[in-house]
Amino acid sequence: MEIINSCKINRLTELIGNASHPVVVTHLKPDGDAIGSSIAMYSFLKISGKSDARIVINDRYPRYLGFLVDEDLEEAIDVYSEKPEAAAKAIAQSDLIICLDFNAFHRTENLCTHLQSSTAAKVLIDHHLNPDSESFDLVFSKTEVSSASELLYHVLMATPLVGGDASVLPAAAATALMTGMTTDTNNFGNSVYPTTLKMASELLRAGVDRDAILNSLYNQYSENRLRLMGHMMKDLLKITEDGVAYIVLDRKTQEEYCIEEGDTEGFVNMPLSIANVRMSLLLKEDGNKIRVSIRSKRGTSANRCARLFFNGGGHENAAGGRLLMPEHVASIEAAAGYIETYTHRYFTEGYED
């Protein structure tokens, strides 16, 4: 890969070698790619002799990713929403901060000010558009990869310690990387490149049990998740004349079905199976915010729509954002009108051109 050049690898190796208290950080509400890449990086730091390495996250990882975290790893994770003092202390004491799966510090929410004020060397490994490169000492940025996990895989493979042999990676790292890539591609359903398949092949050859990963990811959900899915697709799904499918999930419904973080993973993709749907949106009420997930078919830019109307961004066909109440919409009940108004403008006023 073009971005994985020897100078950058040498610099990363030097930074890791000189670090005594490295910290791995990812974005708020961490998904499979965020947690997978973070665990893989942490595992690499451990075999590099960094016994004091830690992972710092703003929010607890979803329950369905718990199979990646054993008891020892759990002890090395600081969750800001649960123990803010410990998380802030880990960042303050760090002499190397490795940031994964986000392009700017504000994507870490409460960790942002701590990261900005830290004098530690900072490394970014990310696959999103428009990285804030000036805030980092070393940047690995490439959008033409499936995930941060894939980009990290190629970075680690290029290090002298791994030497291009995936079997050298710790088993926890290999499993986490495969998991992160699998979730971010919707199980090879989107954003798949030749390098993605090469990565998967090499990890399988190195002994990764993909069947076990798929079982943990997709066959361990609660009964309520399936019942919510039926309710959403039957009663909540709306489709506009512009080919926009959307679902608004309010707090009351989430509580009725006892929904946990991660339980709606993949739901936003489902309406894209409908022939005349060009774009799909899932809006979830979260306190005074509405979290927005956007997916689109080829030829329609989810990223542009997110940037223009939903205070977000992401990839061409997979993006996200947020709306604040009452700044952007008066209430969750007003969200449907907002979606229909602005997606109609998007498709009829030349924004897609």
How do residues 203-234 score in pLDDT, each as one tens digit?
A: 999 999 999 999 999 999 899 999 999 999 99
Q: Model's pTM, two decimal places?
A: 0.91
Question: Taking all residues of the chain, what is their mean pLDDT, rounded to a whole number?
Answer: 95
d(CA 38, CA 34) in angstroms, rounded, equals 6
What would the two tokens of residue 156 be? Answer: 């680690």
Closest to 287 measured CA to CA, from 343, 325, 334, 248 = 325
Q: What is the CATH number of domain 6-218?
A: 3.90.1640.10
pLDDT recorded at residue 351: 73
Please give the radius of gyration of the chain, using alpha carbons only, rounded to the nearest integer: 20
pLDDT bracket for residue 270 (50, 70, 90): very high
Average pLDDT over residues 125-140: 96
pLDDT for 117-132, tens place per residue? 999 999 999 999 899 9
Helical (H) or strand (E) element with 218: helix 210-218
56: which strand partners? Answer: 25, 78
Domain ranges for the chain, please list them. 6-218, 223-348
Quickly state the pLDDT bin for 3 (edges 50, 70, 90).
Answer: low
Backbone dihedral region for residue 153 (phi beyond 0: left; psi -120 to 50: alpha; all else: beta): alpha
Q: How far apart are CA 255 and CA 316, in angstroms?
A: 32
Does domain 223-348 fall under CATH 3.10.310.30? My reply is: yes
| CATH fold match for the domains 6-218 and 223-348 | no
